[in-house]
Amino acid sequence: MIVTTKQLFEVAYGKFAVGAYNINNMEQTLGLFRGNIDSQAPFIIQISKGARSYADKRMLEAMIKAADEIFPEAIFAVHLDHGDLPTALDCIESGFYSSVMIDASSQPLEENIRITRQVVEAAHARGISVEAELGQLGGVEEHVQVEEKNAHLTDPDEAAIFVKESGCDSLAVAIGTSHGAYKFTGAQGLRLDVAAEIQKRLPGFPLVMHGSSSVPQEEVARINAAGGDLKGAKGVDEDEFAKAVPLGVTKVNIDTDGRLVWTRVHREFFRDHPEKFDLRDPGKVFIAEYAKFIAHKNLKLQSAGTLEMVRKHVA
């Protein structure tokens, strides 16, 4: 059942975070639904601009519709990840997405508000939720390369102004994370103090944490042992999610960790079975491993076991 992110956040706020997972293909889609059903969690399917052009947006839509039929228990939102204005408007027009992100965070505050406001008006007219972003994460974000030194954290006072003036339903905040597999060079971590300051100014308002992959060291070691070269990869301590939830972090974006599962499964599979060439053989392993991975993340996000509570709310 497709619901809006706003509906999910009404139940989740302060109690758990909803996992937001990117999909690009059929194997990820099946693993995602299985993992969420296995752990009885609501979830958010994220589709990036890159995914829409890789798999064709119609293919992604058709896969999600099919998965919704195969897994009738599932409760999820379909969300555009890091949308620009034309893509956000296209998704709103399509009538399929229940939530869109407009990411104008590279623009000055006033321009970010103006663009976000435009998306909010179009989306709310059709009952669709809007996530916006303020502040800049480090790392590679779609086509924008933000140098670590230029990344800046969300200003709590600006966040309060931004939410009031833009009318968005949730806000992606920069609190020390970055996209990709190389988030930290030393002992840095989440800036929960910044999240706490934002929550003081925006009590009850859902915050979103991008760049939340934990880049498990065991996964990196297995990839490297099977021929990979991911030296120095480091992510967010997933035990920190439980501390972020009471501070209003209600959506947690995870993509890189899923890519690492894919890479580990395929590297190990072909190393161990050099004679094989049926794509379905590693595909089956990946779907099962991805489902396990999702169920594990949902435990850390505390969304595992909340599906029936969410169902009552959205019924």
Residues involved in catalysis: 81
Verify binding: residue 99, ligand 13P, rule CB under 6 A. Answer: no
| CB 314, CB 1: distance < 8 Å | yes
Verify binding: residue 25, ligand G3H, rule CB under 6 A. Answer: no
Instruction: Kindly tell me which residue out of 27, 131, 155, 255 binds ligand G3H, with binding defined by CB under 6 A.
Output: 255
Torsion, Cα of 30, 32, 37, 38 (10° steps):
100
Helix (H, G, I), strand (E, B), or coil: what is residue 286?
helix
Instruction: Kindly tell me which residue out of 28, 39, 199, 212 binds ligand 13P, with binding defined by CB under 6 A.
Output: 212
Report in angstroms the alpha-carbon separations of 207 from 94, 102, 252, 301.
26, 14, 9, 14
Instruction: Kindly tell me which residue out of 34, 79, 183, 210 binds Zn ion, with binding defined by CB under 5 A.
Output: 210
Q: How many residues bind ligand G3H, per CB under 6 A?
A: 10
Question: Among residues 52 and 179, whose Cβ is nearest to ligand 13P?
Answer: 179
Helix (H, G, I), strand (E, B), or coil: what is residue 281?
helix
Residues linked to residue 22 through DSSP beta bridges, in sequence order: 46
Verify binding: residue 251, Zn ion, rule CB under 5 A. Answer: no
Instruction: Kindly tell me which residue out of 5, 7, 22, 28 binds ligand G3H, with binding defined by CB under 6 A.
Output: 22
Question: Among residues 97 and 269, whose Cβ is nearest to Zn ion?
Answer: 97
Instruction: Kindly tell me which residue out of 14, 50, 156, 246 binds ligand G3H, with binding defined by CB under 6 A.
Output: 50
Verify binding: residue 64, ligand 13P, rule CB under 6 A. Answer: no
* Residues 6+ away with beta carbon under 8 Å from 19: 36, 41, 43, 44, 252, 254, 294, 297, 298, 301, 303
The secondary structure of the chain in percent helix, strand, coil, rounded to multiples of 5, reads 50, 15, 35
Pairing of strands 144-146, 139-141: antiparallel
Least Å distance between CB 216 and ligand 13P? 12
Q: Which does 165 bind (CB under 5 to 8 A by kind): Zn ion, ligand G3H, ligand 13P, none?
A: none
Verify binding: residue 177, ligand G3H, rule CB under 6 A. Answer: no
Pairing of strands 249-254, 144-146: unpaired
Least Å distance between CB 135 and ligand 13P? 13
List interacting residues with ligand G3H (CB under 6 A): 22, 48, 50-51, 81-82, 141-142, 179, 255
